[in-house]
Each structure stands twice: as structure tokens, then as C-alpha cells.
């Protein structure tokens, strides 16, 4: 039976640390501020934005939300970002993705100044992550690394398999595992022998976006299984990329959905906003 890695407990510990530091900064007159922009009315995005706002408030940070209609023009969105880039009350800016299809996501990401790019999506920050000398880490992969650390799971020399190569999860995840001396393989939709590759994994990270995609026959006995997927089933329930019921008996550690990686993503975002506030104010 696997040990369940509880994202709620670990994220609460991270947030407690952040809240302490926020209180110390407040004593110096600095309040970390996060601006979240949401364009359109995607229900999943709405839930994520609400959770981010709640976390900010819970930790004593300033949270500003900008809700823009789906028909917002690129010019309007970029103009808001440019305003926020120079707003002294705002230390972190994030634009909730996906954006409506008429808006250029790359241009939007590139317009947020790297110092306020708390999602770590800007090419400047992505480059720094590649080199291994970074200010911000992308929230989901960094949250996963925090989980592995919390559980004392050693990565050095381990076979790490990441399924998914997105810029948000798969690619940065593989880089962070590599920085911790894992032997990393990245799989994707064109991978031919997926099952065989997955069976090698001591640490298996699934970031595919398909419900119950990882089945027991793809998992080595004793593997650590990290489920990033958030999929909504027809009955309205949330479900990960891993078939939990099948895989859990074979794994040594496993993350549940919900209550696994999701809460860690938000905790890392809070940590990044704190880091940004400290850097922008020259505070330690
Ligand atoms: P994405 O759609 O950008 O990428 C999916 C990846 O899966 C692609 O790289 C693709 O090559 C790969 N893939 C698709 N079909 C495959 C197949 N048959 N075999 C092997 N690989 C295949 O998605 P994403 O943004 O990386 O997100 C992945 C999942 O993680 C989604 O469910 C998303 O909702 C979830 N997510 C969760 C969090 C969180 O906080 N828990 C954060 C971000 C994303």
C-alpha cells in the first residue's frame, strides 16, 4: 500500500512559512501584492483565480483581480499589464491561461516584466531555470519538488519519467528533476513505447490531461507516482491522470486528486509573490 502524499498538509506548512515572512515584511511597511487577470468566463479558470485570491488574503497579501470580458482586445490586455508592470503596490502579475483564441498568449507572457512574472513563464525566467540559477520556479513543478523533499524522497540517480512536455508542467518538471540529479526521460503524445518507458520509473510524473491514463501495468512496484492531471468526469467529479484505485497498491508513494499537487501549485505562487516583493523592495 502506498503512502499518500497529502498536498493539503504540505501546502499548509509552506503557507505558514510564507505568512510568517509576510508579517515580518509588513512590520517594515511592505505588503506583497499579486494581480490576477482573468479574461473570459472559463469556469475552471474562475475556480483557480478564486483559490489564488483566497490564499493571498489568508496570508495577509494584497490581492487584486482584473476580470475582463472574453472580447477584450490585445491592446486593452497589454495596456493593463504595462500599467501593472510599473504599479508599486503590485509585485506579482499573472494572467490566467488559457486565453480566448484571438489573444496571443506568448505576447501576453512576454509583456509581464520578468521581475513580476510569478508564474515563471517569461523566456528570461525559463532560461534561468534551464541554467539552474533562478528567482522564481514554475508553480506546479516546484510544488511537486517540495512534496518530494517533504517526504524525504531522494532523487539522485533515480529513473524519473515525466509524461507530458508542456511549457507549464512537463518541460520545467524534467529540468527540476535533472537539477536534483535524476535520470530523466520525457514522454509525450508521439512516444512509441510509453508503457515500457514508464515501467522503468522510480519516480513517475503524469501531466497529460486524460482521466485515468496511467494504469497499473505501466507502473513499477514501489514507484513514486505524482499525478498532476485535473480532469472533470461526466458525473462532475474531479479525477487525475492516474487510475488511483489500480496504481495505489503498487506504488510506494502517490498523490491524490484532488488534494495532491493542486494545493501545492497555489502555495508556490504565494512563495513566488513573497520572493518578488522582497527583491523589489531590497528586503532579505
Ligand atoms: P498540455 O495539454 O499542455 O500537455 C499535455 C501533454 O501530454 C502534452 O505534452 C502531450 O504531448 C502529452 N500527451 C498527450 N497525449 C499523450 C499520450 N497519449 N501519451 C503520452 N503523452 C501524451 O497540458 P498541461 O498544461 O501540461 O496539463 C496537464 C494536466 O495537468 C491537465 O490535466 C491540467 O489540468 C493539469 N494541471 C494541473 C495543475 C495543478 O496545479 N495540479 C497545474 C497545471 C496543469
Is residue 165 lining ligand 1, measured as CB closer than 6 Å? yes
| Mean pLDDT value across residues 241-250 | 98
Instruction: Answer yes or no: is pLDDT of 3 > 80.
Output: yes
Is residue 209 lining ligand 1, measured as CB closer than 6 Å? yes
Instruction: Answer yes or no: is pLDDT of 212 > 90.
Output: yes
Is residue 228 lining ligand 1, measured as CB closer than 6 Å? yes
Is residue 189 within a helix (H) or strand (E), and if so which, with residue range?
none
Instruction: Answer yes or no: is pLDDT of 130 > 80.
Output: yes
Q: CA 171, 33, 176 angle in degrees (round to 5)?
A: 20
Beta pairing partners, 238: 232
In sequence order, the 6+-apart residues with CB closer than 8 A to the CB of 236 are none
pLDDT confidence of 110, banded at 50, 70, 90? very high
Cα–ligand 1 centroid distance for 67 (angstroms): 26
pLDDT confidence of 113, banded at 50, 70, 90? very high
Average pLDDT, the chain: 97
Q: CA 61, 128, 144 angle in degrees (round to 5)?
A: 60
Beta strands at 62-68 and 253-254: parallel, antiparallel or unpaired: unpaired
Q: What is the pLDDT of residue 29?
A: 96
Distance CA(125)–CA(118), nearest Å, equals 9
Q: What is the pLDDT of residue 136?
A: 87
pLDDT in tens, 163-184: 999 999 999 999 999 999 999 9
Is residue 129 within a helix (H) or strand (E), and if so which, with residue range?
helix 123-131
Instruction: Answer yes or no: is pLDDT of 105 > 80.
Output: yes
Q: What is the pLDDT of residue 273?
A: 98
| Mean pLDDT value across residues 91-104 | 97
Is residue 10 lining ligand 1, measured as CB closer than 6 Å? no
Residue nearest to atom 22 of ligand 1 (CA): 189
Burial degree of 119 (CB within 10 A; 0-12, 13-18, 19+) = buried
Instruction: Answer yes or no: is pLDDT of 34 > 90.
Output: yes
Burial degree of 246 (CB within 10 A; 0-12, 13-18, 19+) = middle
pLDDT confidence of 232, banded at 50, 70, 90? very high
Dump the DSSP string for 147-158.
HHHHTT---TT-
For the entire predicted model, the pTM comes to: 0.97
| Mean pLDDT value across residues 251-275 | 97
pLDDT confidence of 279, banded at 50, 70, 90? very high
Instruction: Answer yes or no: is pLDDT of 24 > 80.
Output: yes
Q: What is the pLDDT of residue 264?
A: 97
Residues, the chain: 284
Q: What is the pLDDT of residue 108?
A: 98
Distance CA(265)–CA(7), nearest Å, equals 9
Cα–ligand 1 centroid distance for 210 (angstroms): 8
DSSP-assigned letter for residue 39: E
pLDDT confidence of 20, banded at 50, 70, 90? very high
| Mean pLDDT value across residues 205-211 | 98
SS3 173: helix
| Ligand 1 atom with minimal separation from the 208 CA | 7
Instruction: Answer yes or no: is pLDDT of 284 > 80.
Output: no
Q: What are the Cα distances from residue 245, in Å, to 62, 66, 158?
A: 40, 40, 25
In sequence order, the 6+-apart residues with CB closer than 8 A to the CB of 195 are 217, 218
Cα–ligand 1 centroid distance for 241 (angstroms): 9
Left, alpha or beta for 245 (phi > 0: left; psi -120 to 50: alpha)? alpha
pLDDT confidence of 218, banded at 50, 70, 90? very high
Q: What are the Cα distances from residue 158, in Å, to 61, 178, 182, 215?
A: 38, 10, 5, 21
pLDDT confidence of 1, banded at 50, 70, 90? confident
Q: What are the Cα distances from residue 110, in Å, to 20, 95, 117, 139, 208?
A: 32, 11, 9, 18, 25
Cα–ligand 1 centroid distance for 188 (angstroms): 9
Q: What is the pLDDT of residue 16?
A: 98
Is residue 229 lining ligand 1, measured as CB closer than 6 Å? yes
Amino acid at each position: 500500500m502506498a503512502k499518500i502524499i497529502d498536498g493539503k498538509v504540505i501546502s499548509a506548512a509552506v503557507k505558514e512559512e510564507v505568512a510568517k515572512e509576510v508579517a515580518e515584511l509588513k512590520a517594515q511597511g511592505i505588503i506583497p501584492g499579486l494581480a490576477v487577470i482573468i479574461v473570459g468566463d472559463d469556469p475552471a479558470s474562475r475556480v483557480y483565480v478564486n483559490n489564488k485570491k483566497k490564499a493571498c488574503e489568508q496570508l495577509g497579501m494584497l490581492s487584486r483581480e482584473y476580470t475582463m470580458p472574453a472580447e477584450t482586445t490585445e491592446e486593452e490586455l497589454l495596456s493593463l499589464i504595462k500599467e501593472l508592470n510599473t504599479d508599486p503596490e503590485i509585485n506579482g502579475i499573472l494572467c490566467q491561461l488559457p486565453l480566448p483564441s484571438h489573444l496571443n498568449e506568448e505576447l501576453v507572457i512576454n509583456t509581464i516584466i520578468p521581475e513580476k512574472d510569478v508564474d515563471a513563464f517569461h523566456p528570461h525566467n525559463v532560461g534561468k531555470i534551464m541554467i539552474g540559477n533562478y528567482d522564481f520556479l514554475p508553480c506546479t513543478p516546484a510544488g511537486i519538488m517540495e512534496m518530494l523533499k517533504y517526504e524525504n524522497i531522494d532523487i539522485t540517480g533515480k529513473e524519473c519519467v515525466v509524461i507530458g512536455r508542456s511549457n507549464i508542467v512537463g518541460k520545467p518538471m524534467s529540468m527540476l528533476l535533472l537539477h536534483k540529479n535524476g535520470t530523466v526521460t520525457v514522454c509525450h503524445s508521439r512516444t512509441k513505447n510509453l508503457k515500457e518507458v514508464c515501467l522503468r520509473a522510480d519516480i513517475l510524473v503524469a501531466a497529460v490531461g486524460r482521466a485515468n491514463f496511467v494504469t497499473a501495468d505501466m507502473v513499477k512496484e514501489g514507484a513514486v507516482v505524482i499525478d498532476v492531471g485535473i480532469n472533470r468526469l461526466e458525473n462532475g467529479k474531479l479525477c487525475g491522470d492516474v487510475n488511483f484505485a489500480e496504481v495505489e497498491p503498487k506504488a510506494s508513494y502517490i498523490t491524490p486528486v484532488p488534494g495532491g499537487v493542486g494545493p501545492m501549485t497555489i502555495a508556490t505562487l504565494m512563495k513566488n509573490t513573497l520572493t518578488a516583493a522582497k527583491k523589489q523592495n531590497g528586503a532579505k
